[in-house]
Amino acid sequence: MQTTVFPQPPADKTLLEQGSVFSPRFDTNGLITVVVTDAGDDMVLMVAHMNAEALALTMETGIAHYWSRSRASLWKKGETSGNLQHVAEIRTDCDQDALWLKVKVAGHDATCHTGKRSCFYRTVESGVDGIGLKNDGSEALFDSSTVYPAKR
């Protein structure tokens, strides 16, 4: 169903970095890294990957699609939970090997499969006992055992 075709990145670094042609640099696995933030307050919600088909579908539908590396399949984020991501803006970085999506999350306003708003719910803390993770106190916005029963 993909109709959008992305051009090959130019060999000229100045064109790549300063030009107006969008030529995403997919890696050797055909993937590009995507940072996803909330369009409202810029909270980092997740880091994911897209292949060309996922990126094209995202641009054509306005709903974020990714490539699930663990399932090796196209992934319409929120299809099961209802937490679809409506894309407000897409940016790319200087050398076009990363994307930044600003999204509005539907449903429970939760992005993480654990039910939390963001996947980044733990801080890395150094203390006298070494390095540990500390939960930031964010609560699950849906019951993951109900939404994803097959995962239990």
Q: Does 72 bind a second copy (CB under 8 A)?
A: no
Report whether 134 contacts 117 (CB < 8 A).
no
Cα torsion through 127, 129, 131, 133, rounded to 10: -90
Under the criterion CB under 8 A, does residue 43 sit at the interface with a second copy? Answer: yes
| Closer residue to a second copy in complex, CB, 84/112 | 112
Distance CA 29, CA 119 (A): 24
Contact pick of 113, 138, 147, 148 for a second copy (by CB under 8 A): 113
Q: For the chain, where are the alpha helices, taking DSSP H only?
A: 13-18, 52-61, 144-147
- The answer to the question of residue 37 lying near a second copy (CB under 8 A) is yes
Per rule CB under 8 A, is residue 2 in the interface with a second copy?
A: no
Q: Contact with a second copy (CB under 8 A): which of 39, 52, 63, 119?
A: 119
93 interacts with a second copy by CB under 8 A: yes
d(CA 2, CA 128): 53
Residue with tokens 């930044």: 100
Task: State the residues that interact with a second copy by CB under 8 A.
Answer: 4, 6, 17-22, 33, 35, 37, 41-44, 46-47, 59, 89-94, 98-100, 112-114, 116, 119-124, 126, 131-136
